[in-house]
Chain A
Amino acid sequence: MSRRTVVVVGAGPAGLSAARAAARAGADVTLLDASDQVGGQFWRHRALPGGGTAPDEPTFHHGWGTFTALRDVVATHPRVTLLTSAQVWALERLDAGVRLRVLVGPADGAGREHLTLTPDALVLATGAHDRTLPFPGWQLPGVTTAGAAQALAKAERVAVGDRVVVAGAGPFLLPVASSLLRTGARVLSVHEAATPASMARGWGARPAGLLGAAHKAGELGGYVGTLARHRVAYRLGEAVVAARGDGRVEEVTVARVDARWSPVPGTERTVAADAVCVSHGFTPRLELAVAAACAISPDRFVVVDDEQRTSAAGVWAAGELTGIGGAEAALAEGWVAGHHAASGAPDDAGLARAARRRARSADFARRLDAAHGIRGGWTSWLRDDTLVCRCEEVDAGTLRAAACATGSADLRSVRLTSRAGLGPCQARICGRTVAELVGATEPAPGGDTGSAPAVPDRRPLVVPVRLGDLATLPDVPAADAP
């Protein structure tokens, strides 16, 4: 009778691909994104009046043509409803399926419109955000994540500074440096913590093996070429270990690090800079998956099967939420997830192609971790007065004292004693760092679906909601049907 309804949360590569596949398989699809544009972080772009495209837009992106094709499908397909500026702020489990609470309107605005959705199937494609390890002075204005620099360059052509140092770990540092150069910033240097030996372990000894898939290697080769043309040094086995300045960053300390990322004494040098962009990897946005009781792996990704199905009935997941695989993998995973969420035919030719593309990317996360995964020695660049929780301004010394005082590695008591992770960001920035610093135990392998997973990713309210908005929340009958 009525068609199967699929809600896709997140309109980046995975979500766009999932929405298209689900619609193609015959479902009625609602695609939600908190931003007022589609594309996610990967295809974040200038917002021009009338939905126009800036002439230089393709130069900031890979696969821009893939994006515009997907964007046009979700904007025009008769079975796709696209809702932007739509923030899912809560997910409730029902006897069958889930209920999503959504606010539609300007970011953090008052008086946004309420929307409640109870789809037959849910595809989570909420992506990931930067993970930045703390270092002395990282709270100074001018120190940003690499993702912030990328977002401002892609969306507004604004450079975060004039003289910029890029540092951290992972291939993502290269496109960030490239975008900064395009926006007119002077990139002084790029410091990759991974040593040449661990780079070789992950990507192979020869540069051609850098990213496995041939086009990925070409993509990165292009960035390296851009850096070389601008005489930007790309230095391996180095880290920004401190930032200093009066009210804003004015200089940073760069040091060589060993294979465990411990700074090598005597190698420190000072670099004058007015911006520092630092990221050490990505961490998935797990709130909705955790609220839906999806099993989470020990390394904090959503566990999915071959059909991208999570352990929660009626919930699929795709993209960075299931492992840091890059946009190609996200597109393929989204295809598979959307198709199955829509109960598409198992012998579909497009599905088979997507599954093959997914298989080609399967090795990426393992290689990425082998080459660039965070090594424990980084904690030796912390001082007692180094802030760990930026919101509540809790430093490493206080945190360690709290861990000693509570006499346990129980994350909850450490957080309540020190207040680390209890501020507005709800431990999104410091959660994993705090857990690692106090030696908190990770959840059981395979995710303990029955009980609450480790504290940091459990946020019943996905984003802060104004009391006024809660007051206007429409009642939902207890026995409502979709």
Chain B
Amino acid sequence: MSATSQGAGPRPLTITLDGRPFAGTEGQTIAGMLLAARRRSWRTTSVESAPRGVFCGIGVCFDCLVTVNGSRDVRACLRRAADGDVVETQHDPLPGVTS
């Protein structure tokens, strides 16, 4: 009925988060790659400077936002990783709020 991939399997790929490499395979999301490496948080909140990572996992909550190849506010749980993606954590302190 449907093809099975017994052969080559998904190709490996590497991304970086703030310069640190993370390995995964084609088809994984950025959040999936980070979680698989036991990284639990990447964004820092504006008010309390608190860490956040995946919460809803399906693009609803916007907790997992990252910058991907210079493009801000990408939901890491939705975006499929591409080999060589340069991912950066986000932290936007509120004016007048110490962090």
Residues of chain A whose beta carbon lies under 8 Å from any beta carbon of chain B: 34-36, 41, 46-55, 65, 68-69, 72, 106-110, 129-130, 139, 141-145, 147-152, 155-156, 158, 160, 247-248, 390-393, 423-425, 428-429, 464
Closest approach, in angstroms, between the C-beta of B97 and any C-beta of chain A? 10
Q: Check if B23 is an interface residue, CB within 8 A of chain A.
A: no
Which B44-61 residues have C-beta < 8 A from chain A?
Answer: 45-48, 50-61
| A109 to B32 alpha-carbon distance, docked (Å) | 18
B61–A429 contact, CB under 8 A? yes
Interface string of B1-40 (1 = CB under 8 A from A): 1111110111100000000000000111101100110001
| A30 to B98 alpha-carbon distance, docked (Å) | 50
A393–B48 contact, CB under 8 A? yes
Residues of chain B whose beta carbon lies under 8 Å from any beta carbon of chain A: 1-6, 8-11, 26-29, 31-32, 35-36, 40-41, 45-48, 50-63, 65, 71, 73-75, 77-80
Counting residue pairs across A and B whose Cβ atoms lie within 8 Å, the total is: 143
B40–A248 contact, CB under 8 A? yes
A48–B1 contact, CB under 8 A? no
B51–A141 contact, CB under 8 A? yes
| A143 to B53 alpha-carbon distance, docked (Å) | 9
| A268 to B31 alpha-carbon distance, docked (Å) | 33
Among B29, B48, B58, contact of A147 (Cβ-Cβ < 8 Å): B58
**Chain A interface, >50% SS class:** loop
Closest approach, in angstroms, between the C-beta of B59 and any C-beta of chain A? 7
B32–A48 contact, CB under 8 A? no
Q: Taking A129-B60, A158-B36, A248-B51 as contacts, is the C-beta distance between A49 and B74 under 8 angstroms? A: no
| A31 to B68 alpha-carbon distance, docked (Å) | 28
Q: Taking A107-B75, A160-B35 as contacts, is the C-beta distance between A424 and B65 under 8 angstroms? A: yes
A145–B79 contact, CB under 8 A? no
| A109 to B74 alpha-carbon distance, docked (Å) | 7
Among A35, A109, A150, contact of B71 (Cβ-Cβ < 8 Å): A109
A residues less than 8 Å from B62 (CB atoms): 391, 423-425
Nearest to B82 among chain A residues (CB) is A106
Q: Taking A36-B80, A46-B27, A160-B35 as contacts, is the C-beta distance between A54 and B5 under 8 angstroms? A: yes
Q: Taking A129-B56, A247-B41 as contacts, is the C-beta distance between A148 and B3 under 8 angstroms? A: no
A residues less than 8 Å from B80 (CB atoms): 36, 47, 106-107
Q: Taking A65-B1, A139-B50 as contacts, is the C-beta distance between A429 and B71 under 8 angstroms? A: no
7 contacts between A and B (CB under 8 A): A48-B9, A52-B5, A139-B52, A390-B52, A390-B61, A390-B63, A425-B61
Nearest to B70 among chain A residues (CB) is A110
| A55 to B2 alpha-carbon distance, docked (Å) | 10
A residues less than 8 Å from B11 (CB atoms): 49
Among B3, B53, B73, contact of A108 (Cβ-Cβ < 8 Å): B73
B3–A247 contact, CB under 8 A? no
A residues less than 8 Å from B65 (CB atoms): 424
B55–A145 contact, CB under 8 A? yes
Among A47, A55, A72, A148, contact of B56 (Cβ-Cβ < 8 Å): A148
A148–B52 contact, CB under 8 A? no
A429–B60 contact, CB under 8 A? yes
Nearest to B52 among chain A residues (CB) is A141
Among B2, B27, B47, B71, contact of A49 (Cβ-Cβ < 8 Å): B27
Q: Taking A106-B80, A139-B52, A424-B65 as contacts, is the C-beta distance between A148 and B4 under 8 angstroms? A: no
Closest approach, in angstroms, between the C-beta of A175 and any C-beta of chain B? 15
Q: Taking A145-B56, A152-B35 as contacts, is the C-beta distance between A107 and B78 under 8 angstroms? A: yes
Closest approach, in angstroms, between the C-beta of B54 and any C-beta of chain A? 6
B residues less than 8 Å from A428 (CB atoms): 60-61
Closest approach, in angstroms, between the C-beta of B17 and any C-beta of chain A? 14
A144–B54 contact, CB under 8 A? yes
B residues less than 8 Å from A35 (CB atoms): 78
B residues less than 8 Å from A149 (CB atoms): 57
Closest approach, in angstroms, between the C-beta of A41 and any C-beta of chain B? 6
B residues less than 8 Å from A160 (CB atoms): 35, 54
